Amino acid sequence: MKPYRTMARNSMQSTFAFRTAFLMAAVAACFQLVATVALWSALLSNGGSIGGFTLPEMKAYLLMGYVTGWLGNAIGEWVLANRIRDGQVALDLVKPIETQKMMFAQTLGGLPMELIMIVTVGAGFVLVAGPMPGPSNIPLLMLSLVFVMPIRFCIAFLTTQLVFWTQNFHGVSWARNAVGAVLSGSLVPLSLMPTWLQTTAAVLPFASLTSTPALIYLGKVSTPTAYLLIGVQAFWVVALWFLARVAFRAASRQVTVHGG
Amino acid sequence: MVAETLFAVRRNARLYRRSLGAVVRAVLEYVADFWILIAAGIVTQSLGLVFLSVVMSRVPHLNGWSYPEMVLIYGLAGVSSGIVPVLSDGIWQLASFIHNGQLDYALTRPAPPLMQVMSAWVGFNGVGDLVASAAMLTWALTRVDVHWTPLNVLILLILMISGIALRLAMCVVANTVSFWLRMPMPMFAMTAWQVGELARYPLGIYGFGLRFLLGAAAPFAFAGFFPAAWLLDRGGYAWLGILTPVVAVLWWIFAVWLFRRGLRRYDSAGH
């Protein structure tokens, strides 16, 4: 357990060492939020609703999109991607610890910085962009938020393994982020999308990242459905964790130790 | 004098082409990467289209702009920002060049350093961006209500080229800031790029602060929205569109001046 704790602490310290980068990211996020609110305000200027979302509800939805977007995101998947690319992963493989758990510990270490980003920018957003409804069921919301980070980690860990085959992680990461933005509901609520996209989103893990917590926050789902959705989140954590593990065993046979 | 300048321009254009060509050959060593990047560009550009089509299937007009008009603005801005990675992706490495003291290499060679830095890499994701944006633009141009004449086709082309030049200059400026910021990553330029993405929607939806930012302080709106407003003859904004070439020239003068100032600060020691 101790090596993992050390890893988590080191990665936490690295996020604080690169605080300027996070400050810039916060600035960019503020612009993004202001712009998206402006867009939705223009769309809902007549006081109506789109797909059952009024303007205040949409603002709360965007807030949840921002919050869930940070969870598990401060320590980039780049750490592993670069280690695979330059062959250093060979050293990780000979260490008496599991690479997957090591990466998870590092991702956990990003949590304090993520919470700072969430609280500072999020609070500013609530004050400036308000009025918006508060969370309808705080315990359930918290429960569903707990699952966001592990799911995002597993998806990232799975896609990062592609670097064993390709030298270029930019493309993989961009494409996955774009697909994720649509299917997680962070771009627009899933209920607004055409049926075929909703069906696709229903069988993939992305919706557990944003749509589930946001719908629970807004009380758009009944309590039994909320429990069901949280169950789905839990299912994805377990399933993706083991899938990533099996995949890593196969992928690490591809390692090119001389770097690529 | 004129002949000499012309000679220098032609020589530099040839060097630029050859420098990019060398990168293209290097990247094509990894064919899978090439296709992944192009696919990533297409998928990323389609995001905005998904957003617009989902939302505008329920609301016919946004701030007075119809769906094809929104796609036109989105596509125009996409074309001008999509060329940046193709022509000058190397500029994103400037921060790391300064950080590692690697800029020395460019300074010792007999070609303009800015040109060498810009052509040090080719981002093939830009090709994907261009394919997707050009498709959106074509789709929109056949659907918007415009009376086409040879003159306005010509002016539209000039505005588009100016928009591209403007985006290139702004990208150079945003990365040149690295001479003063002392960070190994171009964080400022990344933030600026994200701000630029906001200019892919009609400027009128934003409040005063963002309108001032996107229209004047960092005039991303000239690389998409204003030219589109000119083409569609939207009062208030249309005449601004025709100013795009002027803004582009001014920003290039600023970019070159700033880069020279930055070079004077460069001490090749790294940090």
Predicted-complex ipTM score? 0.86
At a CB cut-off of 8 Å and minimum separation 6, what does A29 contact? A66, A117, A121
Q: What is the mean pLDDT of residues A55-82?
A: 90
- Whether the CB of A204 is below 8 Å from some CB of chain B: the reply is no
> To the nearest whole number, what is the mean pLDDT of chain B?
92
* pLDDT score for B271: 67
Decide: B248 and B224 in contact? Cβ < 8 Å: no
Please give the residue of chain B at the shortest CA–CA distance from A193. Answer: B54
- Whether the CB of A47 is below 8 Å from some CB of chain B: the reply is no
> To the nearest whole number, what is the mean pLDDT of chain A?
90
| pLDDT band, residue A84 (cuts 50/70/90) | confident
Residue A260 has pLDDT above 50, yes or no: no
Cβ-Cβ contacts under 8 Å between A and B: the total is 104
CB pair distance less than 8 Å for B195 and A28: yes
- Whether the CB of A182 is below 8 Å from some CB of chain B: the reply is yes
Q: Residue B65 forms beta bridges with which residues?
A: B62
Question: Which residues on chain B are in Cβ contact (under 8 Å) with A177?
Answer: 44
| Structural domain boundaries, residue B22 | 2-265
Quick: pLDDT tens for A16-34. 988 888 888 888 888 889 8
At a CB cut-off of 8 Å and minimum separation 6, what does B144 contact? B66, B68, B69, B72, B231, B232
* Residue B234 backbone dihedrals phi, psi, to 5 degrees: -90, 115
Domain presence at residue B270 = no
Q: pTM for the full model?
A: 0.91
Q: Greater confidence, A252 or A146?
A: A146
Please give the residue of chain A at the shortest CA–CA distance from B128. Answer: A171
* pLDDT score for B234: 84
Domain presence at residue B236 = yes
DSSP label at B57?
Answer: T
Domain presence at residue B85 = yes
* Residue A57 backbone dihedrals phi, psi, to 5 degrees: -65, -40
Decide: A67 and A122 in contact? Cβ < 8 Å: yes
As a whole number of angstroms, the distance between CA B64 and CA B85 comes to: 33
The minimal CB distance from A182 to the residues B39, B50, B185 is found for B50
CB pair distance less than 8 Å for A192 and B30: no
Quick: pLDDT tens for B212-236. 999 999 999 999 999 999 999 986 7
Domain presence at residue B77 = yes
The total number of structural domains that make up chain B: 1
